[in-house]
Every structure is written in C-alpha cells, then in structure tokens.
Structure 1
Amino acid sequence: MKKRYVLLWGLLIFFLSMLLGIGLIYFMRPYFSGEKAFSHEKEVTSGVGEGEEAYPFIGWQDKPRQRAFVVVIDNTEQGRPQAGLEKADVVVEFPVEGGLTRFAAVICVDDLDLLGPIRSARPYFIDLAKEYKGILIHAGGSEEATKKLEKESLDHFDEINGGAQIGAAFWRVPDRNKPYNLFTSSDVLRRTAKKLNMDRSFLPPQRPLLSLEAEVVGEKAEDLTIFYAHKNSMVHFAYEQEKQVFQRFIADNKPHLTYLGEQLQAANVIVQIVPYCYTDGDGHLQLIMHGEGKALVFRKGKVLEGLWRKKPDEFTKFIDQKGNLIPLLEGPTWIAVVPRGTRIDY
C-alpha cells in the first residue's frame, strides 16, 4: 500500500511539472523568438478618468512617485503602428527633419510589454526629459544632441552608445526593417533603472486638475487640424462627446491606431507654438522652448487661447490671458509643439 501511494505521488508530481514546463515555454516564447507579437487581443483602457494615481503629471501631487521614462518614439509611416502611446501620461509631438514629427512619451506605468519603435534624440528631447525629471530612452541622436548629452548630467538609456547592460534592455522585432523595429518594455526599463541606481522617487510637477464632470471655459472647437510640413505628419483631432476625449487622426484622416488596434485619444490637447531656426544644411531644427509664446488648450470640445511660459530649470506652464494656470482634465494630455507660421485650423 505504501509503495502505491509513493507511485501515485510520483506520477502527480511528474504531470504537474510537465504542465508547468509547457506553460513557461508558451509564456516565454515571444521573448526567445523575438516575436513580442503585435496582437490585437489585449485589453486596453483609455485611461481617461482614472485619476491622479494613473496620471501623476496632471493632478496635484503631494507624495513621491517612481521616475518617469521619457521615450523617443518614431512617427513615420514605416514606424506605425506604435506601441505604448496609449498609456502615456503625456505625449509631446516635436517636429524633426523633413517636416516629419517624433514623439516623446512620458511613461509612468510598468505594464507595457511593448514600447516603441525607439528612435534617436534631438536637443529638445533632452530638455523635456530634464523638465519631467525622467530617464530619457533613445537610440543615438543628432550631433547636437550627442554633444548636449556629453555636457549635461542626465540619466538616459542609449541603445547605440550605452554599453551592454543598457543595450540588453532593447530588442528588434522580426517583421519590420531597421530603424523602425527597435522596441523595449516598461518592466525591462524599470529593472534596468534599478540595477543602475537610477530609479529614484520624486515629486511630480504640480498642475491643477479638473474632473471630467467640471465645466470648462472657452470657445467651441470640436475639430483641430495641424498642418505639419510633411503630409504624413499632418494631424487631426476630433472631439468625441460620449467619451469626452479628442480622438487622433493622421494622414488622409485615418484613425491613428496603436499596435493593439485602439485609436489614440486624449482628454487635453495643447498646441504650443514656438520660434525656430535651422542649425545646419540637413534641416536640423532648433526649437526655442524657453521664454513664452502662444498656446491653445483644447478641453471638452472647447478651446482656450493662452500662453506657454518656461523659465530655465522650471516646468512649462500654460496660463490664461490673466496669468492664471489653465487647469487640465484628468486623463492623458497631448502637446503638439508647432513651429511658428504653421497652419492650424480649428
């Protein structure tokens, strides 16, 4: 009888081990094969209405938070659909060479298993990372950006020049061509930051916050179109009354979808109009992001004209004509940095 029990227990342990092994192989398959699959089956929440805990860069905060990652993400036709923009607290869209644009996604969550495609930095991406006290995530940079990183003290992960430990935080997916196939994940970034002692807590910059039920002031403006110089970068936002968000559309008025098949949307859309000049014959831009200039703040289908104001080593403020901070709605914010003279319809 005793031998029979031993045999039964042995068989049970054997079958449980087999099931566990099969499960682990299935779960880890994308990591070993490099697939990090562009699946449309994952559940995505818009994030709007999740409150201060979900969006530390929008509401008033009085307790330390883990650092954000400021991730440089491609926005060319070859780089779409992107991964990770749907869970960014803030997305800042910058013009780059050739009339194209590139994103800086401020990421605070740790549950993004795919984030990218990661691209090279420009000087204003570095300034933004410093402004948000974040870790810049990029793959190389322009000559000006490289020199700036050498001079300034900024925590950053550079896939090209960061060494083996940082380089291991990135991988390339097999179904895209270089340079549009470089990705990472928020969990890998967080673990790497801890290993390098960069994952320090901080107090997020403070901005006033409105609930989605609050009334906002402004003129009716349910549509916004920004005519960036390249046709594939032209962007349109349309207000969706039921969800109380602005949905994003791209070239030829197509919905801008993430790799999960969800349309990008934001509770707040801010147009920040800035002076600029060219630094060389290759079309590299110098955007003047200090001082002040015109800003348009879109909330709940209305627009409020105001100003952006930025002092050295301070957070960019968006203020009304009386000098008061413009409160934002809870939820993600999209900031479109637009060169002065660019056509804007609303």
Structure 2
Amino acid sequence: MDRPARRRSTAVIALGAAAALLVGCTGAAEPDPVSTSAAPEATPEPAFTSTYVAPEDFDLAPLTGERIAVGGLAAPSLAAKIDNHPRARPQIGIDRADIVFEELVEGGLTRYVAVWHSDIPAEIGPIRSIRPMDPDIISPLRGIVAYSGGQQRFVDMMRATDVYNAIHGQADTDAVMYRGGGAPAPHNVIVRAPQLIAQHSELAPPQQHFGYAAEAASATAAREGAPASSAALVFGSLATPSWAWDAGSATWLRTMTGGAPDVAAGGARLSAVNLVIVRVPVDVIQDIPTTQMIGSGEAWVLQAGKALKATWSKADRSSPVRLVDANGLAVRLAPGNTWVELVPNAGSVAIG
C-alpha cells in the first residue's frame, strides 16, 4: 500500500473596496466640490486552508518485504518439512509460501523447508521427517515447525531450539494433522495450517529474515546484476531442477527434474520473485546428507532477469543467512517471495 499522494494546498483570497462621489446640487452658487471618497481598505492576508493528508503508516512483512497494515502480521510463522518425492507431488500450498529452502536428502532427492506467514493456505503438505540441518534453517524464524517425526537424535536437536515442534502423532496435533487419501503413506500427512497457528497465537512473529528494497527496480540484483534468463541446478542424481525468467509475470518459473513444469496441487506454477542460490558443503553423517549451514561461501541472487554474484554467511544457529555483494554491502531483495536453493558444492550451478 503506497503512501497517498500529497495534495496541493489551496488558498482563498478576499479582496474588497468601495468608492462614492457625492455632489450637491441647488439653485445657489455651487460650493467647491468636496471629495467623500472612502479611504481604501487594507488588503487582508491570504487565508490558507491546508488539505494535506499525512502519509499512512505501514509495516513490512518480515519474510517478503511487502508493505502491510500496521500490526497486520502479529501471528507466528509456520515452517514445515515438505516432501518432494515423486509420489508426494503436487504439494499442497507450497505456491503460497513466503520462503522455500530446498535441501539435499538421501538417495539423491531433495526436500523443502517451506515457511508461511503473510499468506496462510487452508492446508499444507505432505510433511515428512526432520533432518539435521533443519534446526539451523528454521531457528531464526522462531514460530512453529510441523513435521512427521524422524530419527530421535534429529528430533531432539529440533526440540532444543526456541521453535515450537508440532509433530504428527503427538496428542496436541490430532486435530490439525491427518493422513489424506491422495497419496500412499508416508507421503500423505496433511496439516490444517490456520488451526495449527491459532493454537499457538501467543508465539511472536518472525523478525525480518532478509534485507529488502522498497521496490523491485531498486533491488540490488536489478540494479547491479548481469542479464540472465535461466538457472540449472544439480543437487544429486535425482534432483536437477531449473528456473527460467518470465518477464510477463516478473518471476522465475520452476521446472522439475525431467523437464516438466513444477506446479502446486491447486494448479499454480511454482515461481519466485527472488531466487537465491547458495553453494554449501554437505557431509554424509551416518548415511544422512547433512548440509553445513554455519559458515560462508559463494552465492547468486537472481531477480528481474538479472544475476548478481554474492557471498553468503551464517554466524550461528539463531542467525539468518546474510548476503553481501562484491563490495561487502548487504544485498537487498525485491519485495515478494523467495526460494533459497542450498546446492551442494559437489553439485553444480549453470546460469545462462
């Protein structure tokens, strides 16, 4: 909601003057004329009536940088571990997430950590189990995380954070999680998102996650990046998604491994205003690929048909990922949703 245009002031000016000439007329000799003209009145000072309207206050959505009404997003965010197995597609509600992180898991596949705050679908899913890098990704968001379980050591890691853990099978999630009929188990655990968030309305909303420009044209990549129309990514043997710039929608459109358009359950094409590609080390610990999120490395920020080389860093578990340009200045994203691709150093990134 843009600030209202400033209106011009108006002025009302009143002017007045009167003059009269009286001449006597009799049979006698006429006396000399006597002027009876009134002295001119002083011109009053202009009276100004201001019609200026002060700019309306606004807040910024912390996960998209978009303008919202003051106090309009007081609820906590909801992060969820979203399945990306072929049997789990198309996913429910992922097209309405503020931020999506894609990470490598076992078997050369990927899964998502999707985060909703400014736009909450009726349902999201299917959700799957937690992984060792997820506490580092989700902790800066606070709020709620929904998942279907996992190895006890990973569940304990997630529970050790300040994030509320909503786990399928717990007594407190019986009313907000269920197995749907659209896919076989374990690819069918669905979350009633608004109801889950309402159960924990006392939790604080997230803090601002990235830096944002006031508008798309002033985002760092739009101003300083090189022209780019595509990005091809290799996570593993079964995960080779790609993105293409679409000027009509001013977004990057996602294509699945195999070349088919990636769509959500409602039919919407998965897209991103901001595409952030982060190269990360991935260690295999007890047969589990583990993305190392604490550290730094190379990154690209794609926006408005441009690509900007950047550096990412994350100081500790509770800190968000920080992006800086070649001069060490903070990179500002465009207002809108963001996909963060955590591409292994052993994989590849090709930007065309």
Q: TM-score interval w.r.t. the shorter chain?
A: 0.7 to 0.9
Aligned residue for 1:179, secondary structure, equals coil
1:263-282 counterparts in 2 under 5 A? 263-280=269-286
Q: 1:121 to 1:254 in 2, by over 3 A?
A: same
Which structure is richer in relative contact order (CA contacts within 8 A, separation 6 or more)? 1
Correspondences of 1:1-346 after superposition (within 5 Å): 55-59=61-65, 65-109=74-118, 111-160=120-169, 163-194=170-201, 197=202, 199-205=203-209, 207-214=211-218, 215-231=222-238, 233-280=239-286, 283-312=287-316, 313-346=318-351
CA distance in 2, matches of 1:211, 1:258: 27
**In terms of Rg, which structure is larger?**
2
Change (3 A) 1:82 1:60: closer
* Aligned position for 1:49: none
TM-score by length of 2: 0.76
Distance in 1 of aligned mates of 2:66 and 2:87: 38
> Mean Cα displacement is larger for which, 114-123 or 128-137?
128-137
Name the CA shift for 1:67/1:294 in 2 (closer, same or farther; >3 Å): same
* Residues 149 and 341 of structure 1: CA distance in aligned 2, closer, same or farther (over 3 Å): closer
The answer to whether the Cα contact below 8 Å between 1:67 and 1:201 also exists between their aligned partners in 2 is: yes
Partner residue, 1:6: none
> Structure 1 residues 80, 54: closer, same or farther in 2, change over 3 A?
farther
Distance 1:204 1:54 in 2: 8
Instruction: Work out the CA distance in 1 between the residues paired with 2:302 and 2:87.
Output: 29
Deviations 1:20-65 (A, max 9, x none): xxxxxxxxxxxxxxxxxxxxxxxxxxxxxxxx97842132899673
**Alpha-carbon deviations, 1:232-264, whole Å to 9, x = none?**
x21010000121110000022111010011101
Question: Partner amino acid for 1:300?
Answer: A
Q: Which deviates more, 200-209 or 166-175?
A: 200-209
* Distance in 1 of aligned mates of 2:175 and 2:262: 30
Q: Aligned-pair distance for 1:152?
A: 4.1
Q: Distance in 2 between matches of 1:54 and 1:332?
A: 13
Q: CA deviation at 1:213?
A: 3.6
Aligned counterparts of 2:215 and 2:162: Cα–Cα separation in 1? 37
- Cα distance in 2 between the residues matched to 1:273 and 1:289: 10
Question: How far is the alpha carbon of 1:134 from its aligned partner?
Answer: 2.6
1:166 Cα deviation from its structure 2 partner: 1.8
Distance apart, 1:201 and its partner CA: 3.9
Structure 1: where are the runs of 5+ without partners? 1-51
Aligned residues: 287
Q: Which amino acid aligns with 2:321?
A: T
Identity among equivalent positions (%) equals 24
In 1, Cα distance between equivalents of 2:207 and 2:74: 6
Letter in 2 for 1:105: A
Q: Where in structure 2 are there 5+ consecutive unaligned residues?
A: 1-57
Q: 1:240 to 1:132 in 2, by over 3 A?
A: same
Q: What secondary structure does 1:289 align onto? A: coil
Query: How far apart are the structure 2 equivalents of 1:343 and 1:78?
Result: 26
Shift of 1:300: 1.0
TM-score of the pair, normalised by structure 1:
0.77
Aligned amino acid, residue 290 of structure 2:
Q
Aligned 8 A contact 2:139 2:162 in 1 = no
Q: 1:83 to 1:55 in 2, by over 3 A?
A: farther
| Equivalent position SS for 1:255 | coil
Higher helix proportion, which one?
1
Indicate the SS of the match to 2:329. coil
Residues 145-203 of structure 1 show CA distances to partners (whole Å, capped at 9, x for unaligned) of 1231354443110113xx21223210111231001111012212112224xx4x33454
The answer as to whether partners of 2:76 and 2:204 remain within 8 angstroms in 1 is yes
Distance verdict in 2 for CA 1:204–1:262, change over 3 Å = same
